[in-house]
Structure 1
């Protein structure tokens, strides 16, 4: 039951909840794990209860992994990658839906080595919760954006084939 609640919370709040990078985020994730662990093994904790709790978690992970590997499971439990910035501009609806702040975007852009928003073609929030930055001036394989929510903000119409490339042009007009 604890496992299902945890999966539901991650689904509701997005994969970003697991990618805590600040000390406060680390404390929250640690406390969440401690509370869940206490519930799983009960009071007072014993070695046997701990082993049963660990085996149960591993079996639940295996079961959900098997379910998620099916098409219907991916649609139900999977979090699709999402474009949160396109053509150098944040996409407010996508940012709200994925709980991605402008500070998150600035940090990802800095980490990519870009000097500003205008040097970025797009930023994608991956299923893992990490932010991928594609800089302008690079060839982008349109197939790379297959299954990415908001890919239409990056790829022009008629460029959806997996073998076509999109030139991330710094002089392209903003929509």
Structure 2
């Protein structure tokens, strides 16, 4: 007789492949893939049954960003529905609906003005900026997102600013309805 745990491995693999298929829509301009991944390696069965989608991630490392590059928030505090991917900083919607997204960034004082935006499928939804010195700045949007579409926080200028980590910069979102 086969042990119960060996039967679960193929089922988990099948679930991951199905979820990956729905979220894999091709690359973005920055070359980021859209393959959905799971941070914990196992599905959160409660969030899948309830349909909840919510995430919060914070930056732990400083990041110098090129033009249109996504900010990577490395430390994931919550990832219900597994839409946020820390390896590229991009949220890929697991369900269609109205979402709330918010981001707060701390610009490392470099003597330059910086411009960032919450971006949905390559389109600027709302911009935000900081002046030349250390400054915390934020933005919030409520938008309709279809399953498989992406949302990220991106640099809008070519002056290579540094976003400060140390858990001062955040990116969050949740399915409103």
**What's the TM-score once normalised by structure 2's chain length?**
0.26
Say which structure, 1 or 2, has more relative contact order (CA 8 Å, 6+ apart).
2
User: Of Structure 1 and Structure 2, which has the larger fraction of its residues in strand?
Assistant: 2
* Structure showing greater Rg: 1
